[in-house]
Amino acid sequence: MQVGEPSSNPQVANIREVWDWVKLGLQEILDENRHLTWRPEDIYAACLSGEALLFTAPEGFVVTTVKIDEFNNKKTLFLWTAWAEERGTHNILRYSPFFENVARELECTSLETWTQVDEIEPYLRSEGWRLDTRIYTRPVHGQ
């Protein structure tokens, strides 16, 4: 799949300076994904404390964090959440090279993201992503 080059690379943003519109995007994500348990304020706090990085681009934003495997200490750049004003424009593919460079700079050995959107799988696979696991949950009755 050919995806156009980005007009510019995402930029690390100060969440305080862009909170008004980022909060709206985060709330939209939560409204469409009721299974998510974080609040916009959790992401605000994570970005403010340096636990997460907020990247903005003309199309929207991505929030990342670094996960460390407790058994082998390998680092993974986790694309925690992303929002775009216009959907279906393959932004994850367009910006993959950029985030690979970010991962290298942070000494991460891989990129990771989670989604419930089945339609994104062919696009990710076409760019070298693989499906590692599926997570199933079941409520405990009486809790």
Q: Which domains does the chain have, with CATH numbers?
A: 11-126 (3.40.630.30)
CA–CA separation, 76 and 106 (whole Å): 9
pLDDT tens-place string over residues 85-114: 887 777 777 888 899 999 999 999 999 998
Of the candidates 92, 71, 93, 72, which has an alpha carbon nearest to the alpha carbon of residue 83? 92
Confidence (pTM): 0.86
> DSSP readout, 14-53?
-HHHHHHHHHHHHHHHHHH-TT----HHHHHHHHHHTSEE
| Whole-number pLDDT of residue 134 | 82
